[in-house]
């Protein structure tokens, strides 16, 4: 297996190869043990301007490359990711506090995205439509949008960047990706390495780490035509405001406060296991995490007790320790934010069944019972290892509680009556619903996305990527001369 030497990426940006960053450097600190993973090169406005001009020029050539050429590059990038996966997993663990299982899963998903994107090039690229003049051929065809700006978060940095980068490149676009500075290697440099090994032409991909200022420069750049943003709803509103004012297409995948509904007839063993995974995977730092456990009052006591017993067996610590089953939050600030929500929840009448405290970035797995619809823990996206439990008595009450949120990303419903569950699911305001499963579930070929405060209806995945990264062009061609 080929190793990935990160030294050339240390403190640099990727734009026609690795180069010095105009905005200086910042250390990347591991939340697990506080060590320095490396340095992120910070792109400034000049870097964004140069990358944009270069991306426009490179895209003009790449957009004319044959579908075979583009597919081959994507497949070689997938193979490159397989070659360096051990090093990518290691940096994912160290940068984001991922447990090893989550890191492996994320690399698997990244490879899936590359392979799925390669298949986009042979999907139908248009339609033949009737024209009033029968001697004229009318074609509606898909054209690359040009340059795509991708702004990706720190919680699943590799997967949430590459799910836009891969299809955009496959469809003939150039890409400027802005990873979070906390995960500049796993969310940016790893992608640059895979595509460099795959032989992607210079200028088609640029990796420019930075903070909000860098992100806004990418959005405002006269060279970017589409912005794909994944992050908080608050930041997404700002991106949408700026991009909309510039008449740019914007794809927003934002936060979630996802409902997990447990009916009276649910298989409790399965429901508890799914609820635990939904709230505590990656310490709850996932947009699809279970934010609200809505449990029928007849089984709520048993559900709470089973959840409590399971969290007692969790081991909080450094992700690199084999005994650890729950890792750190990304920063102390994030832990303090979670603490503030838990404290407000208790003030609003909730009861701490287990946890409710933290030491630095390590937040105890927490269960809150007696959470009502006006409670802070019900209303807010917590983004931490907290399971708020709300009791209901009727199906209509459960539906009202599930839909009592501005968010609309993911949901799950547990019931032995699958027909009933499907009917319930059709009334949920959510872009994705799992019956007898977790709120956290996605794949490279599905329409990933939400509604309301969770996004603007755009979708990542499968052939839906065609709608985000191409535009329609209507062409008429006379077929009879004279």
Question: CA nearest 274: which of 53, 464, 439, 63?
Answer: 439
| Of 216, 287, 381, 468, catalytic | 287
Identify whether 253 is a catalytic site residue: yes
H or E segment to which residue 128 belongs: strand 126-129
Query: ∠ CA 360-362-368 to the nearest 5 degrees?
Result: 115
Instruction: Give me 78's structure tokens.
Output: 């997938």
Q: How far apart are CA 146 and CA 224, in angstroms?
A: 7
Please give the Cα distance from 303 to 377 (Å, whole number): 18
Strands 205-207 and 174-178 turn out to be parallel
3-state secondary structure of 135: coil
List the structure tokens of 467: 């709608």
Which residue among the candidates 193, 253, 381, 468 is catalytic per the annotation?
253
Helices marked H in 84-211: 85-96, 100-120, 157-170, 190-198
CA dihedral 193, 198, 200, 201 (to 10 degrees): 100
d(CA 361, CA 437): 29
Residue 79 known to be catalytic = no
Q: Which residues contact 384 (CB under 8 A, 6 or more apart)?
A: 283, 284, 285, 329, 334, 335, 337, 338, 341, 363, 366
Q: Which residues of 128-138 are buried (b: 16+ CB within 10 A; e: fewer)?
A: eeeeeeeeeee
* Residue corresponding to tokens 């929500």: 341
Q: Which residues are catalytic?
A: 253, 287
């Amino acid at each position: 297996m080929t190793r990935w030497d990160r030294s050339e990426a240390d403190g640099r940006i990727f734009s026609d190869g690795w180069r010095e960053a105009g905005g200086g450097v910042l250390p990347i600190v591991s939340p697990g043990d506080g060590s320095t993973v490396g340095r992120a090169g910070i792109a400034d406005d000049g870097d964004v301007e140069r990358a944009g001009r270069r991306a426009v020029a490179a895209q003009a050539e790449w957009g004319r490359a044959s579908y075979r050429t583009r597919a081959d590059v994507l497949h070689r990038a997938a193979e490159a990711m397989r070659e360096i996966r051990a090093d990518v997993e290691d940096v994912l663990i160290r940068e984001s506090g991922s447990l090893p299982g989550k890191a492996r899963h994320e690399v698997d998903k990244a490879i899936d995205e590359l392979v799925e994107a390669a298949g986009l090039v042979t999907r139908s690229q248009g339609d033949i439509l009737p024209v009033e003049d029968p001697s004229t051929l009318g074609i509606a065809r898909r054209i690359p949008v040009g340059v795509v700006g991708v702004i990706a978060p720190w919680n699943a940095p590799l997967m949430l960047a590459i799910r836009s980068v891969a299809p955009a490149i496959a469809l003939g676009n150039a890409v400027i990706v802005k990873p979070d500075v906390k995960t500049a290697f796993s969310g940016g440099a790893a992608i640059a390495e895979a595509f460099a090994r795959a032989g992607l032409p210079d200028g088609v991909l640029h990796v420019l780490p930075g903070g909000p200022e860098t992100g806004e420069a990418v959005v405002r750049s006269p060279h970017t035509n589409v912005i794909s943003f994944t992050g908080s709803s608050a930041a997404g509103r700002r991106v949408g405001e700026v991009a909309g004012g510039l008449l740019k297409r914007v794809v927003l995948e934002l936060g979630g406060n996802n409902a997990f509904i447990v009916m009276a007839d649910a298989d409790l063993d399965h429901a508890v296991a799914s609820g635990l995974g939904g709230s505590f995977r990656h310490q709850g730092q996932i947009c699809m995490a279970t934010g609200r456990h809505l449990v029928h009052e007849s089984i709520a006591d048993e559900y709470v007790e089973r959840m409590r017993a399971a969290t007692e067996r969790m081991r909080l610590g450094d992700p690199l320790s084999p005994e650890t089953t729950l890792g750190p939050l990304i920063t102390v600030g994030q832990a303090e934010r979670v603490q503030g929500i838990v404290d407000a929840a208790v003030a609003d009448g909730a009861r701490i069944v287990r946890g409710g405290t933290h030491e630095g970035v390590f937040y105890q797995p927490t269960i809150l019972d007696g959470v009502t619809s006006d409670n802070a823990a019900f209303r807010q996206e917590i983004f931490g290892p907290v399971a708020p439990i709300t009791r209901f008595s009727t199906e209509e009450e459960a539906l009202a509680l599930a839909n009592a949120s501005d968010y609309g990303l993911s949901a799950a419903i547990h019931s032995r009556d699958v027909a009933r569950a499907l009917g319930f699911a059709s009334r949920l305001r959510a872009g994705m619903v799992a019956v007898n499963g977790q709120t956290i579930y996605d794949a490279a070929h599905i329409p990933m996305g939400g509604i309301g405060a969770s996004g603007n209806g755009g979708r990542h995945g499968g052939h839906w990527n065609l709608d985000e990264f191409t535009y329609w062009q209507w062409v008429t061609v006379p077929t009879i001369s004279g």
